Amino acid sequence: MTGGSGGIGSAVARRLAAEGAAVVVHYGGSAERAAELVEEITAKGGVAVAAGGDVAEEGDMAAVFGLAEERFGGLDVVVNTAGIMLLAPLVDLDLADFDRMHRANVRGTFVVSQLAARRLRKGGALVNFSTSVTRMAPPTYSAYAATKGAVEAMTLILARELRGRDVTVNAVAPGPTATALFLDGKTDQQLAQLAAAPPLERLGTPDDIAETVAYLAGPGRWVNGQVVYVNGGIA
């Protein structure tokens, strides 16, 4: 799985490992966090290995996929949580920031999806990551939401292109989720307002997102070509 050392990614890795999956924890920048997660999973009896690389570089990701096949005999699930979010009003956003997001979120998802489509075994699953802000449309999110709109489009089309392969392709679209990155810099008042927005009146947790990913990666075989909004009903 890509982005495995992040807040949501690490929760997904723990959950899949707890379900008995052997997990390759991909990281883009934090080798230390990935190593700690692998140690945590293995200490609990799970199987995990860390692998680094640029998610937007085909060679790097082919090496990660190759490691998974070499160590574990094949690929059954690919979860693509890697991505970046840089926020500003559209009129003010630096185009260099737009290009960085496009490279990580769009090209990165394309590279990983292409490799997954070529290598996933029968009965496999690809889970990409979008965002609920494509529906919520809050100010300052235009460029980020645009990259995730592209993720949704390629996810839905790839599901149809894999007809006959018995491989599902879906996207998970989280709402506000209480990761360290999300909480950083927000006041208590801002967090209270965000928590009050969903009908369930709380922020999501990484474990909430991991629960949905585990379903799509395992028993949810009749869910295919969908964007699943995991946000407590906020949008």
Which residues are CB-contacts of 48 (< 8 A; sequence separation ≥ 6)? 13, 17, 22, 23, 24, 25, 37, 38, 41, 42
Q: What is the CA radius of gyration of the chain?
A: 17
Phi, psi (degrees; rounded to nearest 5) at 76: -115, -30
Q: What is the pLDDT of residue 184?
A: 81
In a domain, 66, yes or no: yes
Based on the residue annotation, tell me whether 144 is a catalytic residue of this protein: yes
pLDDT tens by residue, 40-93: 999 999 999 999 999 999 999 999 999 999 999 999 999 999 999 999 999 999
Q: Which domain holds residue 50?
A: 7-177+206-229
Residue 117 lies in a domain: yes
In a domain, residue 87? The reply is: yes
More confident residue, 1 or 14: 14
Does position 153 have pLDDT exceeding 90, yes or no? yes
pTM: 0.95
Q: Residue with structure tokens 């050392």? A: 5
What value does the mean pLDDT of the chain take? 95
Cα–Cα distance between 64 and 192 in angstroms, integer?
40
Asked if residue 193 belongs to a domain, the reply is no
User: Poorest-confidence range of 50-54, 143-147, 182-186?
Assistant: 182-186
CATH label of the domain that carries residue 123: 3.40.50.720
Model pLDDT for residues 197-222, shown as the tens digit of each residue: 999 999 999 999 999 999 999 999 99
Listing DSSP states for 205-218 in one string gives: -HHHHHHHHHHHHT
Q: How many folded domains does the chain comprise? A: 1
Q: Which of 22, 235, 223 is nearest to 133 (CA)?
A: 235
Question: Where residue 167 falls among pLDDT bands split at 50, 70, 90?
Answer: very high
Look at residue 108 and tell me if it is in a domain: yes
Assigned domain for 191 exists: no
In a domain, 235, yes or no: no
Tell me which residue of 1, 3, 8 sits closest to 176, measured CA to CA. 8
Residue 192 lies in a domain: no
Quote the tokens at residue 64. Answer: 């990660």
CA end-to-end distance (rounded Å), the chain: 27
Q: Which is the catalytic residue, given 27, 141, 144, 229?
A: 144
Q: Residue by residue, what is the 3-state secondary structure of 57-78?
A: CHHHHHHHHHHHHHHHCCEEEE
**Lookup: tokens for 205:** 């947790």
